[in-house]
Structure 1
């Protein structure tokens, strides 16, 4: 089973911020172009928000139960490295001490 299938087990929302043109966001753009459809098909109820803005650092946010969030930086990463970071967010379970 792919890591994409159980995203809703931990995540309540996934937000990805990137620049439309910068070299630092290229891996993130490539990840979205190639992986978004498969992720959304496997998780139709999960809100996946893609936010583009000129000159911003590529990053992703995972929102979990009780409104807790975690951020990972995606700047200057390859598509495969972006996938690994998103996977980390998906597999993260906030500890009770963090809530």
Structure 2
């Protein structure tokens, strides 16, 4: 996850300046991506031990699967 943030955060934020992104660093916790959709719906996916490219694919899946 850290590699993804280092490689893609700036370009992701530039392309989506109003898109809220929250990154928290914490030891002993499984890395997860969370997406919050309209009407309070949420979805998450584990990205523990994934490469930066795998995290990008997981993020794209969350974006495309919004309820």
- Look up the SS of the partner of 1:48 in the other structure: coil
Residue 25 of structure 2 corresponds to which residue in structure 1?
52
Unaligned runs of 5+ in 1: 1-27, 95-99
Unaligned runs of 5+ in 2: none
Aligned pairs for 1:50-89 (under 5 A) are 50-89=23-62
- Aligned-partner Cα distance in 1 for 2:35–2:65: 9
The CA RMSD over aligned residues, in Å, is 0.7
Match of 2:14 among 32, 36, 41: 41
- Find the structure with the greater CA-based Rg: 1
